[in-house]
């Protein structure tokens, strides 16, 4: 229903003057791909938001008191960290301006840090989708079983996702023998120690008691607070694209409209990037290479790690695209530095994969990142969906327009400077 209304809004705006042909064509894509403006989160729960804000920047939720959520999801770095592969606890600094986030004593993580923009109603989290939430049945899927009281406390995928980095040894928990949380016998015990640790501080005792009166606090309450903060603070969807969907046909420039048409027509991006979030939130293989330590034997099988479906080997969750111009580098491995690189990859996937080399040796890491092993390129290519073209043949003008649409048409106007 919403996408029909969006189409009608666009067409209705033509009543005072003749419709431009490109707007008529774009109206067809709006309907075909169920494109609607992003809906806002529910009304802010102010005290819960403030608690989540404090937890988001609280290093004491980590085992060694040396890393918070904000180190890897900084608002000034597109809610991510600006480097190909994230650096966990023990790393130092932020990738801002001339400064860099350096490995220090930290471990190199397997994947690029996902941005936190507009996740308030996204029900699939992480690159491999290992956290899912069904808002109708309230069923929650997580990598490990949760205690009943924790599962009952969590009300969204975003809230569930927030609790797992705390108990990952490389991300926030710390290596064994470095602290009591790291030495906990399992994740459940580690979460309980984190709750116990934080509730020793009077300011947090007071805040949790005010927000959750009469409740026994568990790690799920931490997740709820973090989700409230992230869902509200990083809801940034006042884009030219969203304004266009609401009926302002002047919101997108001519070049951005051309890029939008290329996106949904010649490039076939709408196969995966559709709906409210410009993402099907499904798992797709796109012929992306692999750099760094990987998840298993120096490689990363993506969704296959969880569902063992051979067609999902090297499949990763389709990312939402609003504010994508601010979240470089790209793909699950962060090995494509710019949107131009991404467009070049999709222009000829086989050639891009076959020729992929790490050109830049990043000084963030103590040693050069492990290069892509081309041994399994035939699987990466073979598992690409049949409706995704392996070769497109963009003109230079089409490439420029496509990047213009992605970089500016999809970026919140408050963030464009």
Contact status, residue 108 vs residue 310, Cβ threshold 8 Å: no
Q: DSSP letter string over 26-49?
A: HHHHHHHTT--PPPPPSPP-HHHH
Distance in Å from the first CA to the final CA of the chain: 35
In the chain, DSSP finds a helix count (H) and a strand count (E) of 16, 5
Question: Can you read off the two tokens belonging to residue 38?
Answer: 């992003």
Contact status, residue 260 vs residue 249, Cβ threshold 8 Å: no
Residue 342: closest CA among 281, 296, 273: 273
User: pLDDT 10s digit of each residue in the chain, 417 long?
Assistant: 554 555 555 544 434 445 689 999 999 999 999 999 999 999 999 999 999 999 999 999 999 999 999 999 999 999 999 999 999 999 999 999 999 999 999 999 999 999 999 999 999 999 999 999 999 999 999 999 999 999 999 999 999 999 999 999 999 999 999 999 999 999 999 999 999 999 999 999 999 999 999 999 999 999 999 999 999 999 999 999 999 999 999 999 999 999 999 999 999 999 999 999 999 999 999 999 999 999 999 999 999 999 999 999 999 999 999 999 999 999 999 999 999 999 999 999 999 999 999 877 899 999 999 999 999 999 999 999 999 999 999 999 999 999 999 999 999 999 997
Q: Which CATH architecture has domain 46-73+116-233?
A: Orthogonal Bundle (1.10)
Please list the alpha-helical segments (H only) found in 285-405: 304-307, 339-347, 349-354, 377-382, 396-404
Residue 154: the pLDDT is 98
Q: Which CATH superfamily is domain 2-38+237-415 in?
A: Cytochrome c-like domain (1.10.760.10)
Per-residue buried b or exposed e for 21-48, using 16+ beta carbons within 10 Å of the residue's own CB: eebebbbebbeebebbbbeebeeeeeeb
Assign 3-class secondary structure to 352-373: HHHCCCCCCCCCCCCCCCCCCC
Residue 352: the pLDDT is 98
Residue 209: the pLDDT is 98
Domain residue extents for the chain? 2-38+237-415, 46-73+116-233
Contact status, residue 24 vs residue 263, Cβ threshold 8 Å: no
Tell me whether the CATH fold assigned to 2-38+237-415 matches the one assigned to 46-73+116-233: yes
Residue 3: the pLDDT is 47
Question: Can you read off the two tokens belonging to residue 37?
Answer: 């403006």
Rounded Cα distance, 300 and 375, in Å:
13
What global pTM score does this model have? Answer: 0.95
Between the CA of residue 262 and those of 48, 70, 244, 325, 401, what are the distances in Å? 42, 36, 16, 17, 8
Between the CA of residue 175 and those of 41, 88, 105, 179, 184, what are the distances in Å? 37, 11, 11, 8, 11
């Amino acid at each position: 229903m919403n996408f029909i209304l969006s189409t009608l809004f666009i067409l209705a705006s033509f009543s005072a003057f003749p419709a431009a042909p490109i707007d008529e064509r774009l109206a067809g894509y709006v309907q075909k791909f169920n494109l609607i403006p992003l809906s806002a989160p529910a009304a802010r729960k102010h005290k819960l938001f403030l608690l989540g804000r404090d937890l988001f920047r609280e290093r004491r939720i980590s085992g060694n008191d040396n890393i918070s959520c904000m180190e890897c999801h900084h608002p000034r770095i597109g809610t991510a960290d600006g480097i190909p592969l994230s650096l966990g606890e023990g790393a130092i600094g932020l990738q801002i301006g001339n400064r860099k986030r350096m490995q220090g004593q930290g471990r190199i993580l397997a994947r690029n840090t996902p941005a936190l923009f507009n996740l308030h109603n996204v029900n699939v989290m992480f690159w491999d989708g290992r956290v899912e939430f069904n808002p109708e049945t309230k069923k929650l899927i997580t990598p490990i079983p949760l205690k009943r009281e924790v599962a009952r406390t969590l009300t969204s995928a975003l809230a569930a996702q927030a609790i797992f980095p705390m108990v990952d040894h490389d991300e926030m928990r710390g290596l064994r023998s470095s602290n009591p949380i790291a030495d906990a016998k399992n994740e459940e015990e580690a979460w309980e120690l984190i709750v116990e640790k934080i509730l020793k501080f009077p300011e947090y005792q007071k805040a949790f008691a005010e927000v959750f009166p009469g409740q026994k606090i568990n790690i799920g309450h931490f997740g709820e607070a973090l989700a409230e903060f992230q869902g509200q603070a990083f809801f940034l969807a006042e884009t030219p694209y969203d304004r266009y969907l609401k009926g302002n046909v002047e919101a997108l420039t001519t070049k951005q409209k051309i890029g939008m048409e290329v996106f949904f027509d010649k490039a076939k991006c709408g196969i995966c990037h559709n709906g409210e979030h410009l993402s099907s939130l499904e798992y797709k293989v796109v012929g992306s290479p692999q750099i760094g330590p990987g998840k298993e034997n120096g490689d990363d099988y993506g969704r296959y790690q969880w569902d063992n479906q051979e067609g999902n080997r090297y499949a990763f969750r389709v990312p939402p695209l609003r504010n994508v111009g601010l979240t470089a580098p790209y793909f699950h491995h962060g090995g494509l530095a710019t949107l131009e690189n991404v467009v070049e990859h999709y222009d000829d996937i086989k050639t891009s994969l076959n020729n992929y080399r790490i050109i830049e040796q990043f000084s963030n890491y103590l040693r050069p990142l492990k290069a892509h092993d081309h041994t399994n390129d035939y699987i990466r290519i073979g598992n690409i969906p049949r409706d995704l073209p392996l070769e497109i043949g963009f003109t230079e003008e089409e490439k420029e327009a496509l990047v213009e649409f992605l970089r500016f048409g999809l970026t919140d106007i408050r963030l464009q400077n």
